[in-house]
């Protein structure tokens, strides 16, 4: 019997915990060995010098230095492996948390929240207990941005199919996906807005029209160091040293603002670039079969080096620029070697060769992270399915459709089907019976489908179109806007989108609830008739049972469905199942009685 995702994640958590402890113990042992070598080396060197065995003393310096470096590298590799298994343990523990619906500890994508978006706020795409928290496994800022962009807009049919094939391939590669995620976690990602740095890479060069400075860059350090050596070994006058250093001081002062700018723009990017390098190396060396992943891998073939090699070179340049953080090193390096200018020159040389190719490389990294996120979601939910993409306008057919953010053991699912433009499904129902949840269930699964993801259904077929919702309209005191006017503005946005010819699935919850019953009824009727004339189809939930009468006169484009409840004694029972026809049960009086309101 095949193990469940939960069992797999728990076993991997335990295995990586054991490996982490094993490497931690080895690190401790090698740490003590480093200390012993250091003490032994100092003792040997001091002893040989005291005994006037100068040759042996310098030999001991070299010997213990080499041995110490070898052991240091060994210790660093062990430490890397320790952290790596710690990250893998964390990744699998987080997968278990997601299966339980415990999403509070994950990035909620709050920065992507936009109340004016066509659907993300109503469907909990971002924010607390959101779809983004459930899906995202990206570590880099660009990977998270890419996934968020997929959740904010439907892809075309061709792109959806490409993503589905890539997701299907990566779903089976659990080890590779988790290695990708763990390698990125080795580095800090505090500088979220790395786009500013990459935009700066396209800015005009500092050395442009400064040929004389390029000459000084290579001549002045040689003259300065040469004069120091001549003074030290041949007792030559010291004033040439002071003269050359004075010239460098003047240059440093003259262009201090530019030097600071280079440092500020690159500050904090070393860890980000090392992370990208690790991800690129993981992608470059893997064998893919799906067309989209092969195309992304092809984007990483650059000139004479791999993309990871070029990014590693850039990370090294950034690291050397950061050496100026040490005050004493800054004075020494910039006073004798024109350190900042040299690495600014190297950075501009790198820009000239690579800046134009950087964007497709980073886009490839971001897209692979986003695809890996969707694949991890599908692996964790083997009962979910990749939807079939329909070419029939507004065709939606779903079997056992559920909400991916409802994690109860006995989650209720429903079947649903619609077809053709101009269709409206009026959903009536008693309070708390599941009308709004069903609208959100269908809408959020369409968002998943059009992003290229698996959906929470045993089977689904859908035609790609824009999703639009009007569910959580609220008043705005700052703008002196009532909830009714806010809803009208939201509905105006829907009419504008459909008037532009964009195919739209609309989901309207408790339509025009902010006004009196007569105006609500007439307004809802008018809106449904107007939407019938547009390239749109959708669902409208309402307590207005009379609205269901529209189906009698317009059976060709209006259908009634409902959610019902039953009352047994003091209990209200819900089945949360979608039924054909208008709602035939009511529970508002019973609910008010339960709250202590005396009803006649």
587 pLDDT tier (thresholds 50, 70, 90): very low
Task: Report in angstroms the alpha-carbon separations of 79 from 72, 87, 271, 280, 425.
Answer: 10, 12, 17, 22, 60
Tokens at 458, concatenated: 């045993």
- Percentage of the chain beyond pLDDT 70 is 91
For residue 522, is pLDDT > 90?
Answer: no
Q: Which helix (H) or strand (E) holds 424?
A: strand 424-429
The residue ranking higher by pLDDT, 205 or 342, is 342
- pLDDT (0 to 100) of residue 477: 42
Is residue 1 over pLDDT 80? no
Q: Is the model's pLDDT at 103 over the cut of 80? A: yes
What tokens appear for 435 in the block? 């009308």
| Beta strand 396-401 pairing with 414-418 | antiparallel
pLDDT at 480: 39
Residue 301 pairs with which residues in a beta bridge?
306
Q: What is the dihedral of CA 131, 132, 136, 140, to 10 degrees?
A: 180
Q: Which residues pair with 568 in a beta bridge?
A: 571
Q: Mean pLDDT over residues 69-83, rounded?
A: 93
Length of the chain: 600
pLDDT for residue 571: 67
Spatial CA neighbour of 90 closest among 190, 192, 189, 184: 184
Specify the pTM: 0.87
At 459, is the pLDDT very low, low, confident or very high (cuts 50, 70, 90)? Answer: very high
Please report the pLDDT score of residue 359 as a whole number.
Answer: 84
Range among 55-69, 180-194, 202-216, 447-461 with highest mean pLDDT value: 447-461
How many CA atoms, within 13 angstroms, populate the side-chain half-sphere of residue 64?
20
Instruction: Quote the CA–CA distance of 516 and 458 in Å, as a whole number.
Output: 41
Q: Which two tokens stand for residue 89?
A: 């343990």
pLDDT in tens, 320-348: 888 776 677 778 888 899 998 998 898 88
Give the DSSP letter string of 184-195: HHTS------TH
What is the per-residue pLDDT across 538-575, written as a single tens digit (0 to 9) for each?
999 987 778 888 888 888 999 999 888 676 556 666 78
The H or E element spanning position 106 is none
| Angle (deg, nearest 10), helices 339-380 and 141-152 | 50
């Amino acid at each position: 019997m095949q193990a469940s995702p939960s069992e797999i994640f728990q076993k991997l958590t335990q295995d990586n915990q054991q490996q982490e402890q094993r490497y931690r113990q080895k690190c401790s042992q090698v740490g003590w060995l480093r200390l012993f070598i250091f003490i032994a080396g100092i003792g040997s060197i001091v002893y040989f010098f005291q005994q006037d065995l100068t040759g042996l003393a310098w030999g001991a310096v070299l010997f213990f230095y080499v041995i110490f470096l070898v052991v240091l590298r060994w210790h660093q590799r062990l430490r890397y492996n320790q952290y790596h298994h710690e990250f893998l343990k964390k990744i699998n523990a987080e997968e278990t948390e997601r299966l339980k619906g415990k999403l509070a500890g994950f990035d909620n994508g709050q920065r992507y929240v936009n109340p004016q978006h066509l659907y993300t706020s109503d469907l909990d795409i971002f924010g607390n207990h959101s779809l983004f928290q459930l899906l995202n496994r990206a570590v880099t800022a660009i990977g998270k941005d890419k996934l968020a962009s997929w959740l904010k807009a439907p892809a075309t049919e061709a792109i959806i199919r490409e993503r589905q094939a890539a997701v299907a391939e990566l779903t089976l590669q659990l080890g590779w996906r988790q290695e990708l995620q763990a390698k990125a976690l080795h580095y800090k990602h505090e500088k979220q807005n790395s786009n500013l740095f990459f935009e700066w890479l396209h800015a005009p060069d500092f050395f442009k029209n400064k040929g004389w400075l390029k000459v000084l860059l290579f001549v002045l350090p040689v003259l300065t160091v040469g004069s120091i050596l001549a003074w030290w070994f041949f007792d030559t006058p010291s004033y040439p040293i002071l003269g050359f250093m004075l010239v460098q001081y003047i240059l440093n002062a003259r262009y201090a603002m530019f030097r600071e700018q280079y440092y500020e723009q690159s500050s904090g990017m070393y860890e980000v670039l090392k992370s990208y390098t690790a991800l690129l190396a993981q992608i470059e060396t893997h064998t893919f079969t799906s067309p989209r992943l092969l195309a992304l891998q092809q984007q990483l073939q650059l000139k004479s080096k791999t993309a990871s090699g070029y990014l590693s070179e850039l990370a090294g340049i950034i690291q050397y620029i950061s050496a100026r953080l040490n005050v004493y090193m800054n004075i020494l390096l910039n006073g004798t070697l024109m350190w900042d200018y040299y690495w600014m020159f190297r950075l501009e040389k790198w820009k000239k060769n690579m800046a134009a190719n950087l964007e497709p490389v980073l886009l490839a990294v971001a897209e692979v992270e986003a695809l890996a996120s969707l694949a991890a979601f599908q692996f964790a939910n083997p009962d979910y399915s990749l939807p079939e993409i329909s070419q029939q306008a507004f065709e939606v057919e779903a079997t056992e459709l559920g909400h991916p953010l409802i994690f109860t053991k006995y989650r209720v699912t429903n079947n649903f089907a619609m077809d053709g433009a101009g269709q409206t499904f009026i959903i009536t129902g008693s309070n708390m019976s599941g009308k709004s949840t069903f609208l959100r269930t269908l809408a959020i699964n369409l968002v998943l489908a059009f992003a290229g993801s698996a959906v929470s259904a045993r089977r689904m077929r859908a035609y790609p179109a824009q999703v639009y919702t009007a569910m959580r309209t609220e008043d705005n005191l700052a703008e002196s806007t009532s909830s009714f006017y806010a809803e009208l503005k939201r509905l105006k946005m829907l009419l504008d989108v459909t008037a532009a010819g964009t195919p739209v699935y609309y989901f309207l919850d408790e339509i025009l609830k902010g006004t009196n019953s007569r105006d609500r009824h007439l307004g809802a009727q008018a809106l449904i008739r107007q939407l019938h004339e547009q390239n749109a189809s959708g669902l409208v939930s309402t307590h207005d049972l009379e609205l269901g009468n529209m189906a009698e006169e317009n059976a060709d484009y209006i259908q009634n469905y409902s959610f019902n409840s039953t009352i047994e004694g003091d209990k209200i029972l819900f089945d949360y199942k979608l039924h054909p026809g208008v709602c035939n049960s009511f529970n508002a009086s019973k609910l008010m009685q339960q709250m202590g309101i005396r009803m006649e």
